[in-house]
Amino acid sequence: MRERGANGEDRILAWLVAVLVLTGLIVVYDASFPKSGGWQMVKQAMWAFVGLLAYLVGKQISPRALHWLAPALAGLALLLMLAVRLPGIGEERGGAFRWLLLGQVGPVEITLQPAEFGKLAFILLMARCLCASSLIGVCASVRENRWPVMAVLATFLFAGIVAIVQEDLGTAMIFLGIGVGMLFVAGLSWRRVLVIIALVAITGCVFIAHKDYRRQRVSAFLNPFAQIETTGYQLAHSLMGIGTGGVWGAGLGMGRAKEFLPAADTDFVFTTVAEETGIWGSGALIALLGLVMWRLFLIARRTQAMYQMLLVSGIGIMIALQSLLNLYVVTGMVPTTGVPLPLISYGGSSLIALLFSLGIVQRVAQNPMSERVAGEAHARASGRRGNRGTSVSRREYRRGVA
């Protein structure tokens, strides 16, 4: 298979995404059938169609426009994330305030999870902070300017709002992970990254200790079967379902865990995959997600402009963190928290936001050298004058340092 289509997009990534979305529709139908028949799959198919449109729109948006719009989009995302607490607009489910009620079309209730779109807005803002030059292709090294401080503050601002206002520690961890990952990709030293991680760990422990239900989740994580009737219910049934699947699985449609799990088609959708298809099916799904991450980081590596490299890297880090955290939760490796499995779990906001993000990646992949550096522009970025047309190396081009 050729890696690139006629328009320069990454064909392998496009096919991987298509296979995952179709797999997600099948899994959502299977996992939700005992409780809702095929209705969840119908709704997910509708969101997938909207997501396809979002993917096509993302392919048309210039990275230069995203660079310019980043602060406004981040501000809008913050306002929407705060609005979930407004009476009559926000909706509480399972102790978390993640949803905005937008209305109803026939039997379909239209809701929005602002944090899912906030992740992309946050990535745009982080890339802008770490590449603050008005020239997208020319950025000073992260060690040589003050903007990483703004990026760290933005990280804690977004994560803090999610954790405090939305009562959603899992998504807050995703924001923090994206922020730290992008700082590292931009060139921040290991020592500073470790200091930030230590601060994040301390802050997380404080948040866990502050709420009774979070302490109970940690207790249930340590021994779920001792609390199978209360806080350990989901994790215990998830582990039983995965264990029942074994190597070959119980067969499609034959799983039992989905009949007991409240979040069988969302946060614990992987349990149904593992129970019904065994190690081979669940391993194939993990491999597909891993291949998507590989293509994203390969595109980032090939991209010449620093801003676009950071943008694609941030999207790759987001998908990697969400995948890992979801898999860790359903297998009992971390305490239970609500994070969907990318492109697989039921949910319109997550699917549309991810497909739009991947459309942006395809736009970057079409022309990884779209932002050329002229000598005069490079001289302005490095504080010196130069001759128009001066060439620079790949490393100098990314950093803007002669």
Q: In this predicted structure, what is the pLDDT of residue 12? A: 95
Say how far apart CA 33 and CA 41 lie, in whole Å.
9
Which residues does 82 contact at the CB level (< 8 Å), separation at least 6? 161, 165
- Which range, 105-119, 188-202, 221-235, 342-356, is most confident? 342-356
Say how far apart CA 144 and CA 82 lie, in whole Å.
34
- Predicted model pTM: 0.87
Least confident range from 16-20, 157-161, 262-266, 391-395: namely 391-395
Say how far apart CA 283 and CA 40 lie, in whole Å.
25
Domain boundaries defined on the chain: 11-371, 373-402
Q: In this predicted structure, what is the pLDDT of residue 133? A: 54
For 124-181, what is each residue's pLDDT tens digit? 998 988 876 544 455 555 555 566 677 777 888 888 888 888 888 888 889 989 988 9
- Cα angle 383, 386, 390 (rounded to 5 degrees) comes to 120
pLDDT at 251 over 70: yes
Which one has a higher pLDDT value, 374 or 181?
181
Mean pLDDT, the chain, integer: 83
Question: Residue 98, class by beta-carbon neighbours within 10 Å (0-12 exposed, 13-18 middle, 19+ buried)?
Answer: buried
Inter-axis angle of helices 11-36 and 269-302, nearest 10 = 160
Give 6's pLDDT tier (boundaries 50, 70, 90): low
Which residues does 98 contact at the CB level (< 8 Å), separation at least 6? 84, 113, 114, 115, 166, 168, 171, 338
